[in-house]
A and B are shown apart, each in its own frame.
Chain A
Amino acid sequence: MNDHDVIDNLAESDDCLFCSDHIEEAALGILEAEDQERFEHHLSGCSICRAELARLDTAVQLLPFAVNQIEPDAALKLRLHERFLQERDAEPTRIPSPRKSESRIRGRKAPSRPMWTFGSVFAGFCVALAVIGLWNLLPSNESSTSMSGRNFQVYAMQSSDDQSGGHIGADPDSKDGTMMAWNLDPSEKHEIWCVDHEDNRWKVDDLVVADSGSAMQTVTFPKEISTYKQIYVMRNDGTQELSVAPNQAINGDEPAPSESTPAGD
């Protein structure tokens, strides 16, 4: 059996078929934008396609070595050196996540801009929580059965590299929440994803990251938050930046499992 047959036999679902049809383009990094999202989505849940892509990558990664070696202008090193120093000094100091920050920030002068940024985002986050809380106290057809308006939880998102951090504030029985994150790379695209207990995944929204690396936005999930086993923020290279399991809140009791019927996608 050759590799071609292997791929054909692996195509067990529509998504696998789609993936096998586009896997060469993906390996070569030339997928069209509209196919990229579907491809990445499928890849995040399919170890077979991931393995196939990894095999192709071994050949693709060698392609750059085929080019003739050419020396750049000798002044390029100096230009890069100067630019590096310039950008390094202009870069805001990375802000550690709140749970680890106290010992590091205490005892040294924190740079004013990041602290301002962090402070403003955090204040905004609190205001947003308060507004959502007040909103849910108002009589409403939707909220009257399952929302008390007092069951707010704050979920701490775990960082994959211990540098970024984030929180989600939400009523677990609601579809709406507020996400706050910091120390993200603003040059990268970030997406908010969720996965339920049946391993169905949804891209919820793009996470808009400010130049300071902070982000705060309200997020509407397809289903009630308590129905997800994980909510995560993914970078455009397919790796997870932040994640949280919504059965672990940091400011209250563990939310009870929701008995409400998921609204579906």
Chain B
Amino acid sequence: MSTRAPGARVPGKTADQPPPETPTTGRRGGITLGPRDRLIGELHIDGDVRLGGTVQGEIHATGDVEVDDEAKVNASLAGGDINIRGSVSGPVIARKRLVVARSGSLIGDVRVARLVIQDGATFSGNVSMGPQPDAFTPAPEPAPAGAAPEPVAAAQAPDMAAEPQPTRTDGKAKGKPKR
């Protein structure tokens, strides 16, 4: 994967921009890339985006993302509703619903609230489905290593060591089939 995130991870949300909570009815201030357009890099857009051409990099939309049949997208996508009819390779985060249409192809891991895959679509990747995937927050940092888990495991160890001993006496445990 050649996607590199240079520094700027969070989209520039300034005070004079409308809050992203505005209801997503219809297309708002979105952009459209036609089949002969090409985007290589990172796009953060407040609104919807429609991709028809070649895209490489990252697309973050507060609105919906539409990938047309002709599109060749080699990028990570994040948006509300995401509709894929073309070819996408890269991770996808849909805060609402991801649809891979019958003409669509998606190779990549997805985090979605809802998922629809139509018959005929191509999809390979990991799916994690939760109520509200956070699109713009980076993956949660791993818990401080070595702090909590060790004492718990140590405390459990004596119990687990004690458990198998009665069943080890051969032949006596008839009720519980052991391998």
A binds B: no
Contact residues of B with A, CB < 8 Å? Answer: none
